[in-house]
Structure 1
Amino acid sequence: MRNIALTVITLVIAVLMVLSGFIFYAGMVQKRTNEAVNWITNSQNITNQVRAIAILDYKSTASIKDHLLSNGNIPLEEALLQDSIQQALQHLSGNRHNTASQQGYLQAIQKLLLQRRHTKLQMVTMAATHPAKAQEMVVSPAFTAQTDSLRELVATYIQAEQRELLERNNNDSSYTTWSFRVTLIISAFMLVLLIGEVRYIFKLLFRIKTWSNQLLKSEQTFKRLAEEAEPIIYKSTIHGFFTYVSPRAEELTGYPNTTLVGKHYSLLLEDKEFERLKTFYLQQLENGDEYSSLRFEIITRTGEKKWVEQLAYLLTGDKGRKEFECIVRDIDQEYRKEQHVQYLQKRLEAILDNMPSMMFVKDMPGNYLLVIINEILDFSKIKAGKLEVVSEPFNLREVMNSTVFPLQLQAREKGLAFNVRTAENMPAELLGDAVRLRQILTNLIENAIKFTPKGYVTVTVTLVSADKNNSGVRIGFEVKDTGIGIPADKLEVIFESFSQSHKGNSRDFGGTGLGLTICKHLIDLQNGTLKVESSPNTGSVFYFELPFTKNPFPRPHQQDQPQSPSTALPLRGLSVLIVEDNRINQQVAYYTLKKGGCSRIDVADSGMAALEILSTKSYNCIIMDLQMPGMDGYETTRAIRNNGINTSIIALTASALDGERERCLQAGMNDYVSKPFEKEDLFRKIQASTSNSNDQGPQPEHRPGPAQHLSNPTGGDNSTPPPSNTGREEKPPISFEFIHQAVAEDEVKIVLEELVLTMPNYISQMRQYIEEKNWHEVGNIAHQLKGNLGFVSMHEAVQLAHEINRGVVLDNNYEEISRKAARIEELFNHFKPAIEAHIATCP
């Protein structure tokens, strides 16, 4: 409604503004019209006065001429000469002149009239003493020229006045026409606006009426649904008094809904339960929670107790007051079933607690009892409907390996051949319930091993189908054995609770008879299928299919390699903090340490971030980059040591400057590794430093990796570039051997993509810093480039980056930096297609 009112007010304001503008414009037109009328009237008056003066002057001249030429016989009209012209001139000078040209003409006429008046007075005065001379003057050419000048001046003024009047008339006519058109346009616009506003208001009224009807219908529908719905719906004040109760409340409480309206909800509760609910809902009010869910016990009209579940929504009513709108569901039977299941579960646990004292279980291993307990608990959850599956990311290969490995040992101990076959086109990263999948596989494979005296057990995993967009897959799992088999009449009952395929199975092989039942329920819960084929003394084939979703954000995982745990995971169980600002170096270090078996790896992109992390967490080892913006590796290490943290710190940097190693040790670091590094060297130094971090000194380099010839960790002079390769096998301009050694195969692609993505930005930043002569930042960028390009063994570019960094830090030699930076860019652009082509071949 607020939006509607705002729209109407906006339209009214628009109409008023247009109307005000129109009135103002009409007033301006009227003012201009009045000015035009006054101007025309004034011009006509002045013109008439000028004409009258000219006529008076003509009459005065004629009277004087007649008087002088008649030797005084014709009388002289003194009033005409003396007063009429004088009065006309005074009246003319008192008028407001319209334009400068008009004023100039009138001033000239006045001046000429005054001259003629003076001449006429002179002739009249002379006539008394020298009549002949006066007669000569009156007919003289000068006096005649004066008369002609006055006549021409008056005629010119009248013509100019007519032209001015005509021009003013044309202007006023154009203005009037334009004003008329504008008035029409504004009137039309006002009419359209008015019609639109009226139409909008009518539409609005119609819409409001429709909304009102819909709201009324919604209220009626709500009441009808509330009356017909199985749950009870009611409203109450925040103090607990019912304001509305649906009719079905009578079925649950025994009270008619009309009786409950106005009553307090404590009517249906015992005192202890009332206090619990009061505290709970006061807390909801205090927290402002929109809704809450609570189970509690009510007392009906007959005194019977029932359990209900209530969803309470905290709403704002029509008058702005808070109120509760609640939905109550009868869960009495469901709740009592749960209680009964829990009771039975406790009884089972109590029985199992006493089982060790029984003769038939005295020799059972503890893990076997745990299997029995877990199966009974799972079965209890299934019966109560509480067993659920989840959808979480997992790696199928890892799940298969971790599931099959202990069972494979079990099969070999029994003398059975054990085979696992997995299709090559199998997706690795999936979304599903890995725990339940492992439980199903373990149950079926254990059964196969248990019921197979000799022969083999084979597990086969196949990709059954995939969606068109390849996002969803269906995977088949087959467990085949050459065991005792299952009789045909038992195939239908083996999935029933506590059932065995042979009478002697429980005694001979052990078990609860719940394993296959649980498997069947778990597969059904995941919308899968389970089939079995078997014949006595031949063997059995259990086959099930499960749907999974391909993980759209696959996590990097370690490549499965047939190595012993000690060699495959040399850093097993260690926690490491990586302090590194370069994203590529972060990824390489992370994946390398993960490949080494670290249990926890955290990354800090600055020294301050590292200190913050170390204030709350502890680690076995810290990998420290030396050159970072802000707080570098040396400052960070000193701050760590000042905080009393003795964790082993290993420097990891691409720097090849003299004395770098000594500076690391002086700052408090335990060892030093050059980037790019050999993973074996890094692993060895981490192992050495973590085994006895207090006694370990710097370790000698194991063997140099790509681009490591730029650093001499053992001391010595690094001031000269490396010797030429004359006489040696020439190194290829680019190589991916090192990146594959340092990083797991399925993680190489991620690192190389990051390299291709970030390198242009680094090069662009270097060009900018070179133009700004910001040599410190140029050196930092060169340091980053040296490490990044070293991962792909781009030797010439690495050497150039090293020379730039050294020239900035040590030599202050800036002459060749621009050329070397351009060469690095040229080399990267040249080899970029090769990197992208290699990315395309990565898994």
Structure 2
Amino acid sequence: MVNLGNLWQNDSVNCFSFVIASLEIHMSAEQNLENLDLDLQRRIRISHLAVLVIVCLASAWTIIFLMLGEAMGAYISGSVALVYFGCLMLFQTGLQRLARSVWLFSASLSTFAGLVFGHPGVDVDLLFLPVMALSFLAISWKKERTLLIFFLFLPLLLWFSAIRYDLVGSSQALFGIPVFYSSLSTETVNFLLRSTVLILLVAELFYFTQLASSAETELHTARIKAEAAAKAKGDFLANMSHEIRTPMNGMIGMIEVLEAMKPNEEQKRAVGTIRNSAFSLLRIIDDILDASKIDAGKMVIESSRTELRPVIEGVAVTMQTMADNMGVRIVLGVDRKVPNWILADSGRLRQIMLNILSNAIKYSSQDLTGRPNTVYFLVEMDKEDVIKLEFEDQGIGMSQELMEKTFEPFVQGESATTKRVGGTGLGLVITQKLVHQMGGQIITQSTKGKGTTVTILLPIKVFDGPNLAPDISQTKIEMLTEVGKFSKRLSNFVDHLNYIEKIRSVRPDLEGYAIPDEQETVFVLFSENQKTVTSWMSILRKQAKNPKFVVVSSNRSEQLGLLHEDVYKIQSFPMLQSELVKAIAFLTKKQKPTLIEKQPNELTDAQKESRAKKSILLVEDNEINQIVFLKQLEILGYPAVIAKNGLKGLDLWKTGNYDVILLDCHMPVMDGFEMAKEIRKQEEGGNLPRVPIVAITANALTGDADKCYACGMDDYLAKPVEIKFLEAKLMRHLKC
């Protein structure tokens, strides 16, 4: 007993030292996992912990076997403890995969050895079940799939081999080593084995359940955090509109002031460059803000009565300069069946058309293709309540792979092209989301090297409204073009119009052309050659009955408008239907002609006199914007008084008699919303006349307009405020 006690004491001290060393190894190894994949970290930690537990258990069983005098059992458990301590050392040195591989391999091999060296009646093979499950516990399917499959099939292979080749209890026959017999009965050993297998399987199932639950919790938490972060980002960017647009208002406003000061040609070019740069920056800012508002769920479509044709033509005119600079011609066609008035969000509709048309122009540029190109912008009805917008270009086109990524954020095509085209890569993403939000669809067809066609189908509601165009339906109109030039496309274009009866492809001398001489005719002359146009007019003046001429010119430097009593010149590429109708109406006396049109910002004496009598209260806290608005109002001929916050503005309103109030919404002391509410309250309480209030705000959020109206304001302007929009609002409320 003394010897056994000494043995137990020495071994127990050694084993406890062994366990303590193992724990120290486990703690220090934790520091090496920080940079690994989260799932892989879990696998390594549980493997590390499991090996540590096995080392402790094997050490404890070694002590127990020694106390019971089971030398073979002590030898086996001690060997296991030693092997697994080696695994712990591998974990410590950072060889995580090797450590787990040694662990799983030794687990399979030791179970197989138990079959070979154990008693045939003992169910050692049941241990293969938890051993197989260990591979799922220790190895990441996402990161280490091959290793997992190997250690899943290794115990299966060993188990199958033991049964197939009758290796159970064959140590005597194979190695001359007698089968290991325990002092415990076979039934007791099997009971202990089965209990161990059951405990191990339950523990593994419990861990897998915990793992799944933990992963689900982490995913849920991550989703909530991601949504909160996305919302915070969206709110931040959307509300940054105020801070961004305030200085932009000063920049763009002063550009317009400079333009109104009659600069010379060199100064005009400099100011024009500044203007283009400012509006380019504004478009980029708007794209970023729109994308953030869509992500934040703050993009709302606000439908109102909209005259459709001016919106369409305005888009084409806006892109004309860009197209000219890039060697691209715009052909615009609006079908006669397209309604004049619809219920729609005109701003968003314009944004959709601008984004697609600008893309078509950019990727058709002469710099990219090496040739001049044409972009066709056609508008027609697809169904009774669905409008079809088609944009066809002859540009570089797209591959199938790129088409699949077209509507992903920040995607702009091949890198070499992107460097030459520029842009944020957000325009198409915003367009797609706007189209979907409006209940429509967008279809893209493209062939690399040949061009792209983008078709947008939008449901619309037709709205009754006045037809503001002059009636020229009884006028005989014929279009003349040169033989072999533009005729096919022009024929398609003219087919969309209500007015032109025929298109004729003729020679410069009009040989073979039956000149109409019985009825007054308006001839639309479409030729790039000025000599040809002059020849046509000379011949027709002699042979036709009282002819009138609309000359279509692509020369941007030529004077447009009514040139002579019988000649009116309009632009082409794009040729606007409204300009064509206006020209014909002037020539046929259906609309009063103006030989010299008033220049922008040039007021008549009557306007100057009536506007000088008006009094405007401008409430604005930003000093730069105060200067800008005062200069703009000075150019427009309106006198104004300034207040730097809502409280001072309210005091001035009480003591003065103002015809209109221009009111900034976001100010210190008292903001515009509070001031408007207080004015309406006092007007109602004191039975005072209602003064028009026009909100001026830098916040581009869609709901801001509703908030202004809810506070009693009458109109709304978003910064940066262009002088033409400011004048339009003031004329609406002041009638002068």
Tell me the TM-score normalized by structure 2.
0.29
Pair member with larger Rg: 1
> Comparing both chains, which one has the higher relative contact order based on Cα–Cα distances under 8 Å and sequence gaps of 6 or more?
2
Tell me the TM-score normalized by structure 1.
0.26
